[in-house]
A and B are shown apart, each in its own frame.
Chain A
């Protein structure tokens, strides 16, 4: 019993390990899997990410564009369903689709969670964490 009291006393003078969250934020690790993002230029529209997604949260439609190349119809990302498993990132042959570092993903409207990956400024309003 006395031993236990000493353990707590010892810890009383240890510097607190918690962070003051909204003002102090933990840097994200290099491999952290946050919100899905897309390098539109790199994407070859192969649809592998759509196929492997366990929760069917990616939606890619292609159309025939100029000079008979495949072009984006739309590329939607339904974040409500996403389980952040990172399979899309790993399966992508050109590293076009990748997991960003954004982790503060609470919003007030459902609509905001249906993200258009082709829109370049889609994550401008979100908090971008620092990376280690």
Chain B
């Protein structure tokens, strides 16, 4: 296969644009989360840098860039160095789909988001810290368990649309959003819960579990490496919310406004919902969490899938 220089340049430009979008989006999400949490707690949150602290994240990124990159003694160098990239690169790769059609899109996204667990586990193992190790172990167990209901919920949507391509799934919702179908409403709930666990947010944030494990798998990371994990986390949250919006809430379908705006509104709506939940609920214990995944969520997702199949074939 040969590619002309022009195509190559276009590829680079698109890639850089995607990276910029990811960074800006993550920074916006961090600022937004700080604002939402602050107002839930009747505080102001960041107010100094820019309008209502809008540039606070920029300041934070600059600070993190300037910080010393500490490497603790006795780390497993390979795992330690590559973990942040494993946490970030898969979520960036998901954006390759943006504005393009891939006939196995849904499968592609799922495959990539599950690679993130590798990064977390490597960080936990490589840090040579017992807290990190516990956090890494927990997250491996958690993310792998919640992957199943997540994918089963996604499969329900795929069954309804009859295709794996994200474009076609969204097009199938032109007349009615999937979420208004009772089957899909259940699937949406399962997807949201499993998605929350997938991106390690309260009530499923046990890999980080501040009050138990200090900061979990990224306890030892500092400077830009830490920022990488942060970036990965927020990008993952964006991806899960975008997926939920695309699969269940009609994606970019909507009246009046241009499709991109509709898509972003829905995505950020779900993100805000996740934040609201995060700043309200306590966290589950690790065994309760696993029990919930295997005893409640997975059977429910399977039952839902079976009912969906019956509904479709009737």
Direct contact of A and B (CB under 8 A): yes
- What is the bound-complex CA distance between A18 and B279, given in angstroms? 18
- What is the bound-complex CA distance between A127 and B218, given in angstroms? 41
Say whether, besides A1-B281, A4-B281, A16 and B39 are in contact (CB < 8 Å).
yes
Q: Tell which of A6-14, A27-35, A41-49, A111-119 binds the partner.
A: A6-14
- Asked if B2 is at the interface (CB within 8 A of a chain A CB), the reply is no
Say whether, besides A1-B281, A4-B281, A16 and B276 are in contact (CB < 8 Å).
no
Are A16 and B44 in contact, CB atoms less than 8 angstroms apart? yes
- What is the bound-complex CA distance between A12 and B38, given in angstroms? 9
In the complex, the number of residue pairs spanning A and B with C-beta atoms less than 8 Å apart equals 34
Of the candidates A15, A16, A20, the one having the most CB atoms from chain B within 10 angstroms of its own CB is A16
CB contacts (< 8 Å) of B14 on chain A: these are none
Are A8 and B280 in contact, CB atoms less than 8 angstroms apart? yes
| Dominant secondary structure at the B interface | loop
Are A20 and B47 in contact, CB atoms less than 8 angstroms apart? yes
- CB-defined interface of B120-153 with A at 8 Å, one 1/0 digit per residue? 0000000000000000000000000000000000
CB contacts (< 8 Å) of A18 on chain B: these are 42-44
Of A5, A14, A16, A17, the contact of B280 (CB 8 Å cutoff) = A5
- Asked if B176 is at the interface (CB within 8 A of a chain A CB), the reply is no
CB contacts (< 8 Å) of A12 on chain B: these are 36, 39-40
- Asked if B41 is at the interface (CB within 8 A of a chain A CB), the reply is yes
Are B39 and A5 in contact, CB atoms less than 8 angstroms apart? no
Are A11 and B42 in contact, CB atoms less than 8 angstroms apart? yes
- Asked if B59 is at the interface (CB within 8 A of a chain A CB), the reply is no
Q: Which of B9-53 contact A (CB under 8 A)?
A: 36, 38-44, 47
- What is the bound-complex CA distance between A22 and B41, given in angstroms? 21
CB contacts (< 8 Å) of A15 on chain B: these are 42
5 A/B residue pairs, CB under 8 Å, sorted by A: A5-B277, A5-B280, A8-B276, A16-B39, A17-B43
| Minimum-distance CB pairs A-B, first 9 | A8-B280, A16-B44, A18-B43, A8-B40, A17-B42, A16-B42, A4-B280, A12-B40, A14-B42
